[in-house]
Amino acid sequence: MKKAVATLLPGAFWLLLSLPAIAGQGNDPQSWLDRMTAAMSQMTYQGTFVYVQGDELQTMRITHVSDENGVRERLVSLSGSKSEIIRDADGVLWIPGDGRSVLSDSAYRRSYFPEMPLQDGSPALESYTVELGGDALIAGHNARVVKVLPRDHYRYGYTLWLEKHSGLLLKWELFDTRRKPLAKLMFTDLSLGPEVDQTELKSKGELRELETVKSRLPTASTVTSRKPRWQPTKLPPGFVLTSHRYVASGDNDGGEYEHLVYSDGLAAVSVYVESPQDGKSLPEMTHQHGTSNAFICSASGLVVTVVGDVPAPTVAMIGKSVETSLP
């Protein structure tokens, strides 16, 4: 399933959309964010959007329906390799377009369209300030610009373009500490509510003829509840541990790696601690892929890898500070 995410929506990012304006909402920055959050979970929409990251450009078609039957969604790639993702109450199907297989995951039900949890009371608001910008026209819809600015140099910032009536996210841009754009997502056409063709929720292929492969993402049977053995001693303000697991390595040798996730409520960083494959220590390395930065180093004979949609110095600071937390 990780490959599915990388194929359809590279890098970080995960934001969303949705519904009619709520009566009595104000025009302050937080009211716009609350409106966006409501729209993300309640609205039916359909459209084509482009995702731009460096020299890469991907075009996607999304159909998202929220009604008495729950939330259903289908994403189809219109450029690059042909693939699609179908999401409903039963889980997620990834159809890679090779004509041979379907990847199924009944445990994962989140949308693969980016999310921005910035509603009133969100812990992310402690690490960012929010400002209102001007007006714009996106995909034929009037939009209001909202800027989400980091309070320090440890994380990136965002610019959001929200549909004026509903608060629906029409455009999203991620920028670095110098305000240089790193990636952007924007609708080029968009239909709302009754205009949505719900027949596009169904795959055009014959799924019964394809082999179904179960996802290898960690499940309750491969994750333990043991306390973290390794933890970073230096974290940016606002970042807290949100997930921890020991996962079988999959090499049939009884080995496992430790995976910790830290988040400020918006940005997230993964920390992996595992034994080196050849038993040798690794030199410190930093690598960038799109909006994500990775830092690799050795600690007490183990390999530490830190990955996240944050600046390179941030992942390096976290990685260098990883120490054992058990006697």
95 pLDDT band (50/70/90 cuts)?
confident
pLDDT at 316 over 70: yes
Q: pLDDT by residue (tens digit) across 138-182? A: 999 999 999 999 999 999 999 999 999 999 999 999 999 999 999
Q: Specify the pTM.
A: 0.81
* CA–CA distance, 291 with 308 (Å, rounded to integer): 8
**What is the predicted pLDDT for the residue at 41?**
74
**What is the predicted pLDDT for the residue at 99?**
59
Task: Determine the CATH number of domain 230-324.
Answer: 3.30.200.100
**What is the predicted pLDDT for the residue at 215?**
44
The residue behind tokens 């063709």 is 197
Q: Do the Cβ atoms of 261 and 268 come closer than 8 Å?
A: yes
Q: pLDDT by residue (tens digit) across 96-128? A: 776 555 666 544 445 556 678 888 888 888 999
**What ranges do the domains of the chain cover?**
2-214, 230-324
Q: What is the identity of the amino acid at 8? A: L
Q: For residue 60, which of 87, 39, 81 has the smallest C-alpha distance?
A: 81
Of 114-118, 264-268, 314-318, the range with the lowest mean pLDDT is 114-118
* CATH class of this structure's domain 2-214: mainly beta
